[in-house]
């Protein structure tokens, strides 16, 4: 199987995962340019998940398996729901690339409105509530208490993020997008004072969580962007992805949260402020930053499409180019309250 040397990985499981019963069956759950995720089933009916970098990957720092494994291992004993961390392998003789194994958590991933429509009103309500409760729980963990005090720099998070994503935008852009440049300068000049340091997930949203039967978050997934920094960046990005029925603009066209039952954006905002005990009066800055960051990321996708690297027609990459401008303009719209 592409991405898994079945005999060698099976032998590693036998030596490192207690209770596993070969033979093992590997099924790809998620792939592409991101980390590859496999469901692993053994002869006794046990289920596991294996995560490894994408095929052909050479830059270990961009898809750091040890980092993901370290984070979920550290958070396992805390109130934050994460899959059980079971083992990590960095021996290239086993599978060429590092990988880690975690316990399989059964649950629902709500990627679009079609999936959300199968949920009850109460399940949708609970999903929104739980999402904020878990985010507050993540930010309540003191990094030093769980051995993550050296996971990243403690201060200057937003300034570093602005530099990182703007540099990527400048290196990949094929045409000028003045509003992206304008918003970089605007945001750089108005960075709020960071309220302490917290574990920042980096991509916290509904479809990066597994939901249980009642709609509560059963496990938070995809910790590859996790670092230390400003916790308000997480709630800001969550609100970027969270759409209200009255919205004229949606960062995700397939966003399910406009359906009845899901809390409104203002409800999530107020609930986070209550649970986290942080001043959210400047939260619009972080929402604007979230839109701007997505514009920079999407511009890189646009460039790959335009150069034919992803084998798509012209209409597809032109749509991505239009989305870059719309996201940056939405960042400007949200930031207008900060002027």
State residue 332's pLDDT score. Answer: 96
pTM: 0.92
Residues 241-256 have a mean pLDDT of 84
Residues 87-114 have a mean pLDDT of 95
**Quick check: 326 pLDDT over 60?**
yes
State residue 56's pLDDT score. Answer: 66
Q: How many CA atoms lie within 13 A of 8 on its CB side?
A: 13
**What is the band of 66 on the pLDDT scale with cuts at 50, 70, 90?**
very high
pLDDT exceeding 90 applies to what percent of the chain? 79
CB atoms within 10 A of CB 15: 10
Closest by CA to 177, choosing from 296, 28, 284, is 296
Least confident of 19-28, 52-61, 176-185, 246-255: 52-61
Distance between CA atoms of residues 143 and 70, nearest Å: 12
**What is the band of 175 on the pLDDT scale with cuts at 50, 70, 90?**
confident
State residue 138's pLDDT score. Answer: 98
**Quick check: 59 pLDDT over 60?**
no
Pair 162, 102: CB distance under 8 Å: no
State residue 57's pLDDT score. Answer: 47
Q: What is the mean pLDDT of the chain?
A: 92
State residue 55's pLDDT score. Answer: 80
**Quick check: 308 pLDDT over 70?**
no
**Quick check: 35 pLDDT over 90?**
no
Pair 83, 104: CB distance under 8 Å: yes
For residue 47, the cross-strand partners are 41
State residue 319's pLDDT score. Answer: 75
258: Cβ contacts below 8 Å, ≥ 6 apart: 113, 243, 244, 245, 247
Bigger pLDDT: 108 or 33?
Answer: 108
State residue 315's pLDDT score. Answer: 61
State residue 311's pLDDT score. Answer: 54
**What is the band of 30 on the pLDDT scale with cuts at 50, 70, 90?**
confident
Percent helix, strand, coil in the chain, to 5, is 45, 10, 40
């Amino acid at each position: 199987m592409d991405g898994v040397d079945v005999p060698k990985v099976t032998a590693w499981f036998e030596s490192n995962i207690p209770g596993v019963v070969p033979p093992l069956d590997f099924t790809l759950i998620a792939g592409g340019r991101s980390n590859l995720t496999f469901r692993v089933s053994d002869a006794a009916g046990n289920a596991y998940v294996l995560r490894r970098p994408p095929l052909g990957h050479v830059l270990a720092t961009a898809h750091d398996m040890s980092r993901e494994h370290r984070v979920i291992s550290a958070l396992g004993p805390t109130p934050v729901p994460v899959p059980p961390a079971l083992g990590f392998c960095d021996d290239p003789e086993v599978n060429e690339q590092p990988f880690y194994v975690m316990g399989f958590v059964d649950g629902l991933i709500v990627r679009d409105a079609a999936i959300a429509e199968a949920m009850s009103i109460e399940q949708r309500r609970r999903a929104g509530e739980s999402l904020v409760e878990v985010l507050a729980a993540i930010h309540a963990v003191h990094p030093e208490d769980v051995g993550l005090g050296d996971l990243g720099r403690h201060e200057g998070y937003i300034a570093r993020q602005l530099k990182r994503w703007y540099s990527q935008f400048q290196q990949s852009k094929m045409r000028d997008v003045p509003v992206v440049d304008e918003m970089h300068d605007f945001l750089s000049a108005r960075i709020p004072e960071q309220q302490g340091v917290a574990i920042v997930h980096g991509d916290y949203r509904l479809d990066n969580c597994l939901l249980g039967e009642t709609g509560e978050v059963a496990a938070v997934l995809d910790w590859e962007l996790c670092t230390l920094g400003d916790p308000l960046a997480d709630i800001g990005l969550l609100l970027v992805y969270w759409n209200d029925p009255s919205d004229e603009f949606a960062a995700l066209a397939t966003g399910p949260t406009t359906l009845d039952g899901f809390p409104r954006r203002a409800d999530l905002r107020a609930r986070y402020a209550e649970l986290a005990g942080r001043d959210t009066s400047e939260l619009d800055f972080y929402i604007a930053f979230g839109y701007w960051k997505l514009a920079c990321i999407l511009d890189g996708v646009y460039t790959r499409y335009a150069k034919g690297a992803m084998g798509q027609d012209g209409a597809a990459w032109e749509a991505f180019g239009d989305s870059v401008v719309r996201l940056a303009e939405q960042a400007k719209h949200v930031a207008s309250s900060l002027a």
